[in-house]
Amino acid sequence: MSTIPLSLYLHFPWCVQKCPYCDFNSHALRSSEVPEDAYVDALLRDLDFELAQPHLRARPLVSIFMGGGTPSLFSDRAIARALEGVNQRLAFAPDIEITLEANPGTAEAKNFAGYRAAGVNRLSMGVQSLSDAQLKRLGRIHSADEAVRAYQLARAAGFDNINLDLMFALPQQTQAEAEADLRALIALAPDHISWYQLTLEPNTAFGAHPPPVPDSDAAWDIQQAGLAQLAAAGYPQYEISAHAPRARQSRHNLNYWQFGDYLGIGAGAHGKLTTAQGEVLRRARHKHPKTYQAHAGRAQAVQEAHSVARADLPFEFVMNALRLRQGFARADFAARTGLQWDAQIPGVARARAQGLLDETGARVTTSELGWRHLNALLSLFL
């Protein structure tokens, strides 16, 4: 257990407005004021509740990710107070990665230097498109010019590790338009690119009223052309939607995908922890900000909690690890599940027989055939 990396996720649940495709736990502000101090207080109370488990305090944090919602609605002062409070309670690894998600609206850009001074060393910006027409269709509150300007301001503020999010297969988008959008993003030279297909999720405005999006064949063509563009530009694919040179891969997300441990703090946040006895626990907080704040620091803030059954551990592990091009080490599978990787694991024999896995020495990776049929591969482990 002590060898499993520990990360921290802090959820900030408010946005200026809800995007029609978003199924994250985000809530449109009903006033111009964000309850900064009250919410940071709740986060720290909630963290204290988690740290009642004494074995956690001895484990340094390898990464912190502040997601949302829109964390950049919070001032640099509030973010600094949150990080200071965390560091008073937990040690930071010397090379800790601290990421803040930011909306590229100009209202938050003035805080970039303050975020950097507070200890944030990685910025993740939800650009989503560099076409004003598409941004309008997606319900985004910024323009393409504002996104570029925010990126330039972040660079000027000292950020040398920036991720930009971009979506494809957007409403009425042609392949030529998708390629031009990606080409414009690559020209900015971010350190990491998250490039993913728009999905029409249930319980969203787009789910209820689907816009006209490219069909599956057209989306596939866009994806293949985009992957070639990214690779040629020096952004190799290391996970389904993540592209970066090895030195700029997201350490926080790698910890998720490698079945590491993470504390989930904040409204609707999910966490996964391995106990001193090797039991894997998953917990989720109440989603509504007011309910969460009322209970933060007490057991009542936890809405869902369960122990992962031993029989389910192989699927939970591979569901994440086989998303990575580099796969996983057999030793990590053993250390994080308490099981050995062999034909006795349900699904392994069938995956081998169907040529969906490559197993070389101490590593297990998805074969090219398995990569093209990843959902079918993962279903073998259910």
Q: What secondary structure, in 3-state letters, does 13-66 show?
A: CEECCCCCCCCCCCEECCCCCCCHHHHHHHHHHHHHHHCCCHHHHCCCEEEEEE
* pLDDT score at 107: 56
Provide the b/e sequence for 307-327 (b: ≥16 CB within 10 Å): ebeeeebbbbbbebbbbbebb
Integer Cα distance of 111 and 149 in angstroms:
14
CATH 1.10.10 range(s) for the chain read: 311-379
- Which pLDDT belongs to residue 1? 47
**pLDDT of the residue at 2:** 56
Residues 138/172, Cβ–Cβ less than 8 Å: no
How long is the chain?
A: 382
Q: Kindly list the strands in the beta sheet with 357-360, ordered across the sheet, starting from the edge strand earlier in the chain.
A: 328-329, 363-366, 357-360
Q: How far apart are CA 194 and CA 183, in angstroms?
A: 14
pLDDT at residue 108 in the model: 66
pLDDT of residue 353: 95
pLDDT digits (tens, 9 = 90+) for 18-33: 898 988 888 888 766 7
264-to-225, 282, 286 alpha-carbon distances in Å: 36, 9, 11
pLDDT of residue 300: 97
Q: What is the pLDDT of residue 361?
A: 85
- The pLDDT, as a whole number, for residue 31 is 65
* pTM of the model as a whole: 0.96
C-beta of residue 43 within 8 angstroms of C-beta of residue 81:
no
Strand, helix or coil at 8?
strand
Instruction: Kindly list the distances between the CA atom of residue 26 and the CA atoms of 11, 166, 207, in Å, as whole numbers in the listed order.
Output: 9, 19, 16
Three-state DSSP state, 255: helix
Q: Does domain 6-255 have CATH number 1.10.1740.10?
A: no
CATH for the stretch 311-379: 1.10.10
**What angle, rounded to 10 degrees, do the helices at 313-321 and 330-337 form?**
140
Q: Where in the chain is the domain with CATH 3.20.20.70?
A: 6-255
Position 43 scores a pLDDT of 98
Helix (H) or strand (E) holding 229: helix 216-232
* Alpha-carbon gap, residue 215 to 5, rounded angstroms: 40
Which residue has tokens 């985004």? 140
Write the CB contacts of 163 (distance below 8 Å, at least 6 apart in sequence).
99, 122, 123, 124, 125, 190, 191, 192, 193, 194, 244, 250
Q: What angle do CA 240, 189, 230 make, to 5 degrees?
A: 35
Tell me how far apart the alpha carbons of residues 247 and 268 are, in angstroms, rounded to a whole number: 31
Q: Which residues of the chain have pLDDT under 70?
A: 1-2, 31-32, 106-109
- Predicted pLDDT at 29: 83
